Amino acid sequence: MSILSVHLSRLTRHHFPFSSLLFPSSRPYYHACAPSRRNLRFSVIKRFPFRCICSFPATNSIADRNRNVEVGEEKYDVIVVGGGHAGCEAALASARLGAKTLLLTLNIDRIAWQPCNPAVGGLAKSQLVHEVDALGGEIGKVADRCYLQKRVLNVSRGPAVRALRAQTDKREYAMQMKNVVESTPNLSIREAMVTDILLGKNDNVEGVCTFFGMNFYAPAVILTTGTFMSGKIWVGRTSMPAGRAGESASHGLTENLQRLGFESDRLKTGTPARVDCRTVDFSVLEPQLGDEEVSWFSFDPDFHIEKEQMCCYLTRTTKSTHQLIKDNLHETPTYGGWVEAKGPRYCPSIEDKIVRFQDKESHQIFLEPEGRTVPELYVQGFSTGLPERLQLPLLRTLPGLENCSMLRPAYAVEYDYLPAHQCSRSLMTKKIDGLFFSGQINGTTGYEEAAAQGIISGINAARHSDGKPLIVLERESSYIGTLIDDLVTKDLREPYRMLTSRSEHRLLLRSDNADSRLTPLGREIGLIDDRRWKIYQDKQARISDEKKRLKTVRISGGDLAADVSHFSGQPVKESSTLESLLKKPHIEYKLLDKHGFGNEMLSRTEKECVEIDIKYEGFIIRQRNQLQQMVHQQHRRLPEDLDYYAMTTLSLEAREKLSKVRPQTIGQASRVGGVSPADITALMIILETKRRKAQEVRRHQIRASVMVDTVENLSDTLTEAVGTHKCG
Amino acid sequence: MIISENSHTATMALLPSFRTIITRFYRPTKPPPQLIFSSLLFPKKLSSLFPLPPKPQPLKPLASTRQETSFVSNRDERLVGLGSVNDGGSIETQSSTSTIAAIVTSLGGPPAAVGIVRLSGPNAVDIAGRVFSPAKKKKGFDSGSGSWKPKSHIVEYGVVLDSQGNVVDEVLAVPMLAPKSYTREDVVELQCHGSEVCLRRVLKACLEAGARLAEPGEFTLRAFLNGRLDLSQAENVGKLISAKSVAAADAALAGMQGGFSTLVRSLRGQCIELLTEIEARLDFEDEMPPLDVNIIMDSIHAMSQDVEHALETANYDKLLQSGLQIAIVGRPNVGKSSLLNAWSKSERAIVTEIAGTTRDVVEASVSVAGVAVTLLDTAGIRETDDIVEKIGVERSEAVAMGADVIIMTVSAIDGWTLEDTKLVERIRSNMGSASIPMILVINKIDCASSACSDWVNREAKLFSKHVFTCAITGQGIHDLEKSILEIVGLDKIPAGGRRWTVNQRQCEQLMRAKEALVRLKSTIEEELPLDFWTIDLKEAALALGQISGDDISEEILSNIFGKFCIGK
């Protein structure tokens, strides 16, 4: 199998240059104005010498470009609507791939804003950040640059669930990302409220239309509208239309999407109050410090610049907190019954926590700084729908906050989303060619989830506008793949947050191997430059050399052996390899270092990689084998035109659900809620029967056409023969 | 790696003349979207202008397809040598890669002379080579490496060995290499002796050597998928299989009596409960109280025991169907026939004072704790010149070899004699490595002097159990039955028994669950991180879910949310 796929991928690579060579006039503009694309091309040219022969279309396209300017229309390859965490990644990926990209945002000053938690990463989310970085995305780098505090969570619970979390400086984060976006070639920014999608004749997107009547044209459009589509914020019973506090919502787009046949629904999320840190008594609170040894999201060492860390604090709800909430439940939207949209179960408001878990006497509340230069503290775990007049008294029931002053009240936001079963796994919508959805519009929550979708839709929008095959990350390839697969197959009715337990084979999807899983892909796509590629290759070489070394170096007795048998409680055989020592319980690479058997050439993370690969080899191989068995069945493709309603061997519910979701593979079909294993078996039988029938028909046709050919060829030969005869 | 599904661009790349076609005939004023453009490449008009190669294009009609897509599978460059996981493009053509095995002759009726275990799949020959040892070793054959290279459709004679290298059965191996077989895959049929015990042992050896137990109807399914059956037959197979899979998936339990399904569901419930506890701690680090390892170990232990019991029941179930064969052996005139008569409360065997009365094997049936037991009284084993008696002795030895339990009878009056020692040695050497449990019965205890205890203590060590009986009064028969139940492992079955049936497939999944729990225990004992606990726990839950036809992942999640207060 692996040989075959390598072969296929080679084929594919060879095809790309040809395909663009064959469609010169369809892509007239970027040749003239895409310096970064030229650089990118250069590396392609090295690999495929025959690429050079395509010089003539460039002149053609300049002419085309000039004509377009005369018409006065704004033409791009990709338009990204929204400048949040999905929009930024999407726009950057697209522009870096050489597509002329336009980022439309309601407010340029709020690009990459963190409206809620001033943090990046955390359990399962950090894997997403590492993966986006491994593909050549930006979120990890910016988080590494703007962190206030960093901690590795789940340190002792296994390498697959270990996670990095960074408190970030909200303003610095937005500024840094904005700088990157502004300084990226091929990328233009414009303030605009998009209200409609322009369609072509073949259910394809041609551009967008804005509130003030501008049309922007592109064959690929990515919508990353976040909480802004018909957004409405609530404090207590009072609401106003807004995407978030102080920013106007976007109106009209939902209705127009509905008109195009898209199904939409409402979701709700919330953000807690901010308090002034100068009014908090930290002396009674438990401080939470950052790690002494800082870890990094980005695999690019250029962004590993240590900063002074800030402290977070821990407080708890008290009896009076609980009492105050119980007395005022009727004042909250959920229990008062005036907001119906569903909020996330794993991000519950404080009143939800207290109502649902009555026996828990106290809940942890974290106080997190929002920046180095602002007094604001984020009160994590304390979001509420209570009216503003009750919010300060509620905050003051928390130890340390008895005299606090509130800078911003907590509020909830309700917004439109488009259930993502309307997208395929490339994030392109099934209905409209060239239209992509990313981020909260797909029903997710979290900056990391948004960024992960953003980079994929950005890559695919650029590829779509360039006529290249779209990229789909299979579920088992990454958390990104798992995220998207879940979004498009499961009928989600609450905001989706990434969790490690969502991945069936998470031991293979760790933070430490995100680069060895995805950077080669990033390179192939064109988001990993030569410098970064070399860093990657050198790192892999060092790791693999070190593993070889540990296999060959043997020790007999000595301090190391004594220490190993002491810590592991297991005897150490004569002439043991270092590898076998590392496999023993409680033995870490650090111990080799301590006794001078470590390798100074390796960084801390590289040593960790080596340790994980060796220590857990048995488990990793086992999961890999399980995966291999599963993948075979799961990846069988389903034709797009299946009529599930006609399949009487399927259960009624399966027929309904499958018709709605229209999964692309058997594996996806099996994950659709309400589809039983028996349904899957029945489905496979039907498919196979169909395939055989089609094959039979084709065989007949071929036979028939061969007959015709033979006759035609015969006559051709005859004509030719006659011609030759004449000339002679 | 990027795998392109579509050879679309390749086709066009091969036709450079198209570029001129396009530039000459198609000058769009405004760049149209890619799709429209490429769809213009193959309309009928164009093809009539420029004769296309007459072969059908490997193109799907663009009206129904959208854009081609590249799929990226799990690949980790650091794991070189472990093989990469990806689907490639060839899945459509290879629907099955695993090698399956099953007993394909009917079971349950009276034993047939011959029964067949069939292997089918790419590794059928390899796996057969691992368990099958031909009588005539061909040059270059090495049973250890499994490099059996049979000629298709040439029968070979030999033995089947289990994983320890013990002979399980004599068989004829019939290799039928692809595509000349029922499934169009490599097929090896092992023709064994017809008894259920033989067949199951041979099947077990095959499963241990890497085969997977075939699902109901799977050979036929494969025959169909590989094009062995034609379309009209296929429709019928489709119905057949879907009917069967419905049964297998959701009604596998419902169809059975309650006890087993309750047990499996409760076990699975416990696995999921534990997973919930652990996963919640992995995904919501700060908000959970720490786990109590002792409680977890206790519950894992309890679960293993339940699985163990279910497996024992499977064993009991088998015994219920096939019964036990017990051979009574011993020197002449120690009271073997009297024992049989007393036990079966009949006069089945002729009893006289004359040594060597019993010449042939005498059968009698008794029921022990609901299990049908066939008692086989044999000719007293001794050196003899009498031709009839000699044949009888040979038969006795053969019967002893085929029994589930051997009762070695001695007379308390004579004590332990040299002949007894010889006899036991002879039986043991005949047995070889197969160990049939032996019980020492000291008969005629009523006539014995009290001084026999020292030799009994000495010799009893060589036996699984020893029992004192008096065949005349029936004394000790009850003890004998108890000993037998203990030896075959039926003593833990509560009176009345658990009346459920566990089939081979369920048994396999129970084994899988049991092994997963064993691994889980060692993971916890070795103090591996919490995440690693989930791997085997999931495996166990999956195995149990296979029996009950449920899936797990979503369930754990909803449990987490339902049960714990988590989230920020």
Residue B552 is predicted with a pLDDT of 44
Which A residues 260-289 touch B at CB under 8 Å? none
Q: How far apart are CA B325 and CA B345, in angstroms?
A: 18
| Beta-bridge partner residues of B367 | B372
Which A residues 579-638 touch B at CB under 8 Å? 585-586, 609, 613, 616, 619-624, 627-629, 631-632, 635-637
Q: What is the mean pLDDT of residues B329-345?
A: 83
User: Which chain B residues contact residue A583 at CB under 8 A?
Assistant: none
Would you call B283 an interface residue with chain A, using a CB distance cutoff of 8 Å? yes
Residue B74 to residue A632, Cβ atoms within 8 A:
no
Residue B463 is predicted with a pLDDT of 83
Token match 């013990």: residue? B166
Q: Which residue has the higher pLDDT, B28 or A447?
A: A447
Q: What is the mean pLDDT of residues A407-425?
A: 93
Q: How far apart are CA A312 and CA B408, in angstroms?
A: 79
Q: Which of A496-500, A601-605, B346-350, B475-479 has the lowest mean pLDDT?
A: B346-350
Residue A426 to residue B69, Cβ atoms within 8 A:
yes
pLDDT beyond 80 at A469? yes
Residue A283 is predicted with a pLDDT of 95
Query: Rounded to a whole number, what is the distance in Å from the CA of B495 to chain A's nearest CA?
Result: 37
Residue A558 is predicted with a pLDDT of 87
Confidence of residue B180 (pLDDT cuts 50, 70, 90): confident
Quick check: A92 and A180 in contact, CB under 8 A? yes
Would you call B532 an interface residue with chain A, using a CB distance cutoff of 8 Å? yes
pLDDT beyond 60 at B213? yes
> Quick one: closest CA in A to B522, which residue?
A585
pLDDT beyond 50 at B253? no
A274-414 and A636-708 share one fold:
no
Confidence of residue B367 (pLDDT cuts 50, 70, 90): confident
Confidence of residue A167 (pLDDT cuts 50, 70, 90): very high
pLDDT beyond 50 at B231? no
Query: Rounded to a whole number, what is the distance in Å from the CA of B39 to chain A's nearest CA?
Result: 11
pLDDT beyond 90 at A684? no
- Cα Rg of chain B, angstroms: 33
| Beta-bridge partner residues of A153 | A163
pLDDT beyond 90 at A468? yes
Provide the H-helix boundaries in A337-468. 350-356, 388-395, 447-465
Q: What is the mean pLDDT of residues A240-264?
A: 92
Residue B500 is predicted with a pLDDT of 52
In this complex, which of A4, A433, A682 lies closest to B35 when CB atoms are compared? A433
Provide the H-helix boundaries in A530-577. 530-552, 558-568
In this complex, which of B66, B95, B531 lies closest to A161 when CB atoms are compared? B531
Q: What is the mean pLDDT of residues A488-507?
A: 88
Would you call B435 an interface residue with chain A, using a CB distance cutoff of 8 Å? no
pLDDT beyond 60 at A580? yes
pLDDT beyond 50 at A441? yes
DSSP state of A646: G
Q: What is the mean pLDDT of residues B64-73?
A: 64
Domain A636-708 class, CATH top level:
mainly alpha
Q: How far apart are CA A196 and CA A215, in angstroms?
A: 9
Q: What is the mean pLDDT of residues A472-481?
A: 93
Residue A206 to residue B33, Cβ atoms within 8 A:
yes
Confidence of residue B262 (pLDDT cuts 50, 70, 90): confident
Residue B373 is predicted with a pLDDT of 82
> Quick one: closest CA in B to A162, which residue?
B282
Q: Which of A693-697, A706-710, B77-81, B495-499 has the lowest mean pLDDT?
A: B495-499
- Where do the domains of chain B lie, and which CATH numbers do they carry? 100-214 (3.30.1360.120), 259-316+503-562 (1.20.120.430), 330-349+361-382+389-488 (3.40.50.300)
Picking from A60, A113, A54, the residue whose alpha carbon sits closest to that of residue A82 is A113
User: Which chain B residues contact residue A640 at CB under 8 A?
Assistant: 64-66
In this complex, which of B29, B30, B70 lies closest to A472 when CB atoms are compared? B70
Classify domain A530-635 at the CATH topology level. Arc Repressor Mutant, subunit A (1.10.10)
Confidence of residue A145 (pLDDT cuts 50, 70, 90): very high
Residues B518-548 have pLDDT tens digits of 999 999 988 889 899 998 998 898 888 777 6
Average model confidence (pLDDT) for chain B?
70
- Cα Rg of chain A, angstroms: 29
List Cα–Cα distances, A82 to A103, A191, A432, in angstroms. 7, 10, 19
In this complex, which of B91, B566, B567 lies closest to A635 when CB atoms are compared? B91
Structure tokens at A650: 């399927």
Residue A358 is predicted with a pLDDT of 81
Residue A219 to residue B33, Cβ atoms within 8 A:
yes
Q: What is the mean pLDDT of residues B267-292?
A: 83
Q: Which of A117-121, A122-126, B466-470 has the lowest mean pLDDT?
A: B466-470
Which A residues 161-200 touch B at CB under 8 Å? 161, 200
Q: Give the per-residue SS3 of A473-527.
A: ECHHHCHHHHHHHHHHHCCCCCCECCCHHHCCCHHHCCCCCHHHHHHHHHHHHCC
Residue B451 is predicted with a pLDDT of 59
Structure tokens at A493: 């009715």
Q: Is the peptide bond before B179 cis (omega within 30 degrees of 0)?
A: yes
User: Which chain A residues contact residue B70 at CB under 8 A?
Assistant: 12, 469-472
In this complex, which of B10, B241, B556 lies closest to A15 when CB atoms are compared? B10
pLDDT beyond 70 at A342? no
pLDDT beyond 50 at B452? yes
Would you call A357 an interface residue with chain B, using a CB distance cutoff of 8 Å? yes
Q: Which residue has the higher pLDDT, A700 or A344?
A: A700
User: Which chain A residues contact residue B557 at CB under 8 A?
Assistant: 499, 501-502
Most confident of B81-95, B373-387, B403-417: B403-417
**CATH for the A274-414 domain, from 3.30.70.2190, 1.25.40.10, 3.30.365.10, 2.40.30.260:** 2.40.30.260
Q: Which residues contact residue B509 at a Cβ distance below 8 angstroms, ignoring those fewer than 6 apart?
A: B543, B544, B546, B547
Q: How many CB atoms lie within 10 A of CB A51?
A: 18
User: Which chain B residues contact residue A347 at CB under 8 A?
Assistant: 567-568
Would you call B383 an interface residue with chain A, using a CB distance cutoff of 8 Å? no
Q: Which of A299-303, A562-566, A682-686, B169-173 has the lowest mean pLDDT?
A: A682-686
Q: How far apart are CA A129 and CA A125, in angstroms?
A: 6
Query: Rounded to a whole number, what is the distance in Å from the CA of A179 to chain B's nearest CA?
Result: 31
Query: Rounded to a whole number, what is the distance in Å from the CA of B370 to chain A's nearest CA?
Result: 37
Residues B153-178 have pLDDT tens digits of 999 999 998 888 888 888 999 999 98
pLDDT beyond 80 at B9? no
Quick check: B335 and B447 in contact, CB under 8 A? no
Provide the H-helix boundaries in B255-385. 258-283, 293-322, 336-344
pTM above 0.80, yes or no: no
Residue B55 to residue A705, Cβ atoms within 8 A:
yes
Structure tokens at A540: 């892999």
Most confident of A3-7, A189-193, B466-470: A189-193
Q: Which residues contact residue A186 at a Cβ distance below 8 angstroms, ignoring those fewer than 6 apart?
A: A30, A33, A34, A36, A37, A95, A96, A98, A99, A100, A101
Q: What is the mean pLDDT of residues A153-174?
A: 94
Please state, for a pLDDT cut of 90, what percent of chain A lies above it: 61
Would you call A649 an interface residue with chain B, using a CB distance cutoff of 8 Å? yes
Which residue ranges make up each domain of chain A? 274-414, 530-635, 636-708
Residues A279-291 have pLDDT tens digits of 999 999 999 999 9
Residues B38-50 have pLDDT tens digits of 333 333 333 333 3
In this complex, which of A504, A622, A685 lies closest to B238 when CB atoms are compared? A685
Confidence of residue A27 (pLDDT cuts 50, 70, 90): very low
